Structure 1
Amino acid sequence: MMAEVMPLARVHGPGDVRLDDVPVPLPADGEVIVRVAACGICGSDLGYIAQGGLGGVEPLSEPLPIGHEFAGTIEAVGRGVSGLATGQRVAVNPDHGYIGGGGPEGAMAPFIRVRGASLGETVFPLPGHVSFAQAALAEPLSVGLHAIERLGIAPHDKVAILGAGPIGLCTVAMLRSMGAEKIAIFDRVETRLERARILGAGLACNVDRQPMVEALAEFHGAGERFGAPHVETDAFIDCAGSPQALTQAFGAAKYRARIAVVALHKNPVALDLWRMMANEILITGSIAVDRAEAFGKALAMIAREGSALAPLISHHFDFADFHEALRTAASTEESAKVMLTFADNAA
């Protein structure tokens, strides 16, 4: 590493994100330095910028580094690290140290320190045919997989996904990879719904054209219990964060339906607890942490089916065009996953 300083994307306050010059990291014991080649822009990154921090309640005591969906090449290895070597192409599970999510490191930078570097836990070698941009999808794909596993979804289950943003689309891809066929997804953005169709959704419904419950009744079937109608959907995965969509799903859920909330709801949502009791509806949160196994499964899927995941990435921007990339990622009409690339670091 020739340079002594590098740019790092950090949030300083609401709507205030800057590329700050910071020292290039050096590895301490148990750490590796990764030369970043690709880093996805996540909805949570945009949320941190808009809110001015993780929750927007307390002012930041120091700038917040962002970027947690990334892959690159190991540049340096600290003492005590086994199974990893300089020059290895890798993807990184950001859970340890909360990379880009409250910790001291962020991957929207040419180099990043990975603390607790452990083969198959935090750092995962890449097959030669997997590109860095594909590998950077392992993080959002593992978010979708974690929700699937939280609900115990099997290939024969009928699944509805609320929201066709990047996480919703990644969830479609993971469900299709495991053999699920009765996949429905709902959104208002037709371009994202078209991506969902290509990725394997059997129903991609624009709720401005047809109500969600009506579409599910046609696609999954409908029934009645205790005089109340329901749809035959086995599992709902909320990737939208829309109170209206969640309450509609809850109100139409059948006996022993399962619901996972992946999206960030900024305000409390009122749910019909009588219906929850009477229909034994299971509702669970799903936040992907401590998910080394799911991360590895996502990378294995990428290695098998990487070309089929092309619809997930809508744009590639060089890191030099950071602010333009953020503007594009914030436009739901034109973007899915926006990927930052580091031309000088690609190999």
Structure 2
Amino acid sequence: MATAATMRLARVHGPADVRLDEVPVPTCGPGEALVRVAACGVCGSDLGYIAQGGLGGVEPLSQPLPIGHEFAGTVVAVGEGVAGVTPGQRVAVNPDRAYIGGGGPDGAMAPYIRVAGAEIGETLFALPASLSFERAALAEPLSVGLHGLRVGGAKSSDKIAILGAGPIGLCTLVMARHLGATDIAIFDRVPERLERARALGAGLAVNVGEETLTSALSRFHGKGERFGSAYVGTDLFVDCAGSAAALEEVVAGAKYRARISVVALHHKPLALDLWRMMANEITVAGSIADNRAAEFGEAIAMLAHAGQDLSALISHRFDFSRFHEALAVAADGARAAKVMLTFPEPA
């Protein structure tokens, strides 16, 4: 089957300016593979790049920025020097090595994408026939959640609190359950998000507009007192919300040797109570998930073999021809969890 000469590629041209540009279909050089995209998720970072007009919104773009990094599809061609990868192979792609959709020259919101450094187990992960492309495309955000848990030293016995029930918070919940944790609380302000969290197995899902994080965790994870100050019994907090006020509340109420993993993007510096962090030996670690091949593979294995119902993760599916409609829905936290773009096979 012949590949088209041109295709539409989603690229950011400036603040609130994203276009489907007609560009040549990429070709394979040495060490590269060409993948026909079947499904690509819309990430909050994609929406951020569009709103800011680039990766950080500080410097004007010197050239349009391709977006899309949560995807799976079929290999259609390989370049010289690529071993163990063949046309027709179904794969999910770890975007880290070439910064796919995050500053690199390629983005997956397009029918075809060039994958640099094509290597099984690093950039390309083979999919069993039983694993759908859209489910496989969840491996990227699931591995982000898993990485945040690993950075925080998550154990099955941990009492875990997740701040934020957006797509990454929900993926963190899924992977915490995958690791065997059962005492998992999650917090948000959007009732629909909390309903999805309950469907995915949260032990407690709380609207912080109705009850404070500290109050809810005191009754769910227990409480105590140290140096005259109250604490909650939570072992690990995973920040997927990016709320300064929430993180300050966590530090104020964290117990002795509690851990905090910061997955969310905080746009401004914030003041934290360093005395309390010192006195309670609280560990705070950042998690950017840009070197996670092992975790990506673990997410694929979980998706292929686990019996957990993840239907609540994917809230909407749109054909790529409805790209702008898909973005609008993805930006509505009350309506959307993971919005998936789908690409029909060429005729």
Deviations 1:196-224 (A, max 9, x none): 11111100001111111100000000011
User: One-letter code of the match for 1:126?
Assistant: L
Partner of 1:80: 81
1:335-346 correspondence runs (5 A):
335-344=336-345
Deviations 1:211-252 (A, max 9, x none): 111000000000111001110100000000111111111111
Shift of the 81–177 alpha-carbon distance from structure 1 to 2, 3 Å rule, reads same
CA contact 1:11–1:49 (8 Å) conserved in 2: yes
CA contact 1:176–1:199 (8 Å) conserved in 2: no
Structure 2 segments unaligned to the other structure (5+ residues): none
Partner of 2:299: 298
| Aligned-partner SS, 2:35 | strand
Deviations 1:4-58 (A, max 9, x none): 1100000000000000011101100110000000000000000000000000001
Q: CA deviation at 1:306?
A: 6.2
CA contact 1:73–1:90 (8 Å) conserved in 2: yes
Q: CA deviation at 1:2?
A: 3.1
CA contact 1:35–1:345 (8 Å) conserved in 2: no
Partner of 1:20: 21
Aligned length: 346
Structure 1 segments unaligned to the other structure (5+ residues): none
Partner of 1:56: 57
CA contact 1:220–1:233 (8 Å) conserved in 2: yes
Partner of 2:162: 161
Q: CA deviation at 1:269?
A: 1.0
User: One-letter code of the match for 1:174?
Assistant: M
d(CA) in 1 for partners of 2:59, 2:237? 33
Q: CA deviation at 1:345?
A: 5.5
Partner of 1:66: 67
| Aligned-partner SS, 2:310 | helix
d(CA) in 1 for partners of 2:45, 2:39? 17
Shift of the 158–209 alpha-carbon distance from structure 1 to 2, 3 Å rule, reads same
d(CA) in 2 for partners of 1:278, 1:227? 12
Deviations 1:124-147 (A, max 9, x none): 010111000000000000000001
1:200-279 correspondence runs (5 A):
200-279=201-280
Partner of 1:7: 8
User: One-letter code of the match for 2:299?
Assistant: A
Partner of 1:32: 33
Partner of 1:133: 134
User: One-letter code of the match for 1:73?
Assistant: T
Partner of 2:106: 105
Partner of 1:178: 179
Runs of 4+ in 1 over 4 A off after TM superposition: none
Partner of 1:92: 93
User: One-letter code of the match for 1:14?
Assistant: P
d(CA) in 2 for partners of 1:201, 1:155? 14
Q: CA deviation at 1:315?
A: 0.2
Deviations 1:294-314 (A, max 9, x none): 000000000112661111000
| Aligned-partner SS, 1:27 | coil
d(CA) in 2 for partners of 1:53, 1:176? 35
| Aligned-partner SS, 1:317 | strand
CA RMSD of aligned residues (A): 1.0
Higher mean C-alpha deviation, range 172-181 or range 7-16:
172-181
Shift of the 264–345 alpha-carbon distance from structure 1 to 2, 3 Å rule, reads farther
| Aligned-partner SS, 1:173 | helix
Percent identity between the two aligned chains: 67
